[in-house]
Structures are given as C-alpha cells and as structure tokens.
Amino acid sequence: MGESKKSKLMLTMAMVIFGTIGVFRKYIPLPSGMLAMSRGITGALFLLILVKIGGGKISKQAIKYNLLSLIVSGTVLGINWILLFEAYRYTSVATATLAYYMAPVIVIFISPLLFSEKMTARKFICSMIAVLGMVMVSGVLTSGENIQIKGVVLGLCAAVFYALVMIANKYIHDISAYDKTIVQLAVAAVILRPYVILTGEFASVQFTAMSAGMLLLVGILHTGVAYRLYFGAMHDVKASTVALYSYIDPALAVVLSATLLGEGMGVVEIRGAAMVLGATMASEITPKKKNRYF
C-alpha cells in the first residue's frame, strides 16, 4: 500500500494538535471523565455541522457496512481516554506518558502478524531509539521519584487500548473520514457517560466563561479536527508509520510544557525529544538501494 504525502501531512498535523492539548487542559477545571465525554460530544457535533454546511450527507450504508468495527473502535477510544486520565491520578504525568506511549511499539510489533507489514531493521532500530527517547523525555531517569504501580498499570492498559484504536481502524473500509470520525466520537461519548454518572462528576462541574471557551476549543480543534485528520490519514499509511508518527505528540507536549508553562526541561529531556523526532523522520527515509531487510 502506497503512502501519500497528503496522508502523512494530515497525520503530522493531527499529532501536532494532540501535542498541544496538555497546555489547554491546565485551564479547564473539569474532572477527567467529564472532559473526555465533552470532547466526544463536541467533536462529533462539530463534524456533523461541517458535513451539513458543506452540503454533504452521512452515508448510512457505509456506516451500516462498518458498524461493528466503528462500535469497537469508538468503544476502545472511550476506554482509552478513561484509562489515561485515571493514570494521571495515580502517578506522575511523566510516568503515565511513558507507559501510555508503549502503544506505538505494540502496533509496530503486531503489524507484521495482522497486516503482513514487513518488520525491517530500520523500523526496528528507529522504534527502539524512539522508546529510549521517550524514557528520557518523560523525566523518569532524572526525577528520582518513586513510580506508583497502579498508575503505571493504568497507563499500560491505556496503551493497549490506544493500540487497539490504531488496529481497529485498519479494518474500516469504504467510508468517509467524516462519517467514520463522527460515529467513533459519538460512540466514545456514549461509553464515557456511565463512567461520568457512576463517579459523580456531573455534580462537581463548575463552568466559567474561560473554561467553557477552552472546553469548546478542545472539543472542536483537539477532538473534531484532530481526529478527522488522524482517522482520515490512517487508511493510506502503514500501521507502523502511524505508530512512529505518534511520538510527535508527546515530544511536542514536553517542549510546550517547558516553554509555555515553565515546567522545566533538562538536557536529558531535550536530547530525548530530539531522539524521538529524529527516529520518526529517519524511519521514513528510503535508502537509495532497496534492501529487503533495511
């Protein structure tokens, strides 16, 4: 399967948008479950409005044809959000992020089995460099803090469901990116609703004009637009490519945290970010001479 430059650009833009969500999260005083559910609702409604404004129609036939896969992918997306936000409750952001971004590695090693995508030496080496870079970026090597097991387990579980989101989308065919994303976000919101009700988060919500505006921005830009780009690109790129590009998200998030939020970033973290981005780009450089193993 050929990988178009447009699809790679869409994937890059999605990762950049995802990488900025941490900055906006600082200004939204809402419980994690409520924020996640709101993302799903706002994102789905925004994309639905765009389709209507553009004179398009939702293809019921395409949705029906892919219904099971859409429900599965939307469900794992919602569960992924819950597990990630819960991981942040029980351990540091650095540790949770490190655990969560084991997902691309899971996909890279599963891809040869599920999609017959060749595991080249280049992909393998770049994946290992990216993993090492993520360890450095997370700050675990320099923080000296004790890792809390529950948070790590939740982060790894979130990684598994993030990997499932990537894999499930490879089984969705003959449907527009808009239709696919609208259904997936809607399903995620439905899945999150019982969690929000059971945890009593509705009762603790307090809105201000600023928080409401930030919530809309996160729902529209970081969810509707970002996931439309993300899911729209998935069909035309290899699962292993999606996995490696995903490292742009955490690397950018760490850079923005240091520059905009003043959360500090040492030499080790900077080197780690360079390794992540460098490995991602290196994995896409095609050697002049074709080699079946590299």
User: What is the per-residue pLDDT across 18-47, written as a single tens digit (0 to 9) for each?
Assistant: 888 877 777 777 787 888 898 899 999 998
Give buried/exposed letters for 170-186 (b at 16+ CB in 10 A, else e). Answer: bebeebbbbbbbbbbbb
Residue at token pair 């099971």: 68
Whether pTM > 0.85 for this model: the answer is: no
**Within 10 A of 167 (CB to CB), how many other CB atoms are there?**
20
**CA-wise closest residue to 280 among 247, 254, 251, 253:** 247
Query: Which pLDDT score, from 0 to 100, does residue 106 have?
Result: 79
Distance (Å, whole) CA 113 – CA 88 = 32
12 or 5: whose pLDDT is higher?
12
Q: Tell me how long the chain is.
A: 294
**DSSP per residue over 172-229, as a string?**
--S--HHHHHHHHHHHHHHHHHHHHHHTTGGGG----HHHHHHHHHHHIIIIIIHHHH
Residues 206 and 31: their CA atoms lie apart, in Å, by 10
Instruction: Please say if the pLDDT value at position 187 is more than 90.
Output: yes
Give the residue extent of every domain in the chain: 5-114+146-246
The amino acid present at 233, given as its one-letter code, is: A
> pLDDT grade, residue 156 (50/70/90)?
confident
Residue 109 reports pLDDT greater than 90: no
Quickly tell me which residue has 């959000």 as its tokens.
81
If you average pLDDT over residues 183-202, what whole number do you get? Answer: 87
Residue 293, pLDDT above cutoff 50: no
* 175 or 294: which leads in pLDDT: 175
Q: Would you say 250 and 99 are in contact if contact means Cβ atoms under 8 Å apart?
A: no
Round to whole Å and give the CA distance between 200 and 62.
37
Model confidence band, residue 1 (pLDDT cutoffs 50, 70, 90): very low
182, two tokens: 């609208």
DSSP state letter for 4: -
Average pLDDT, integer, range 1-19: 84
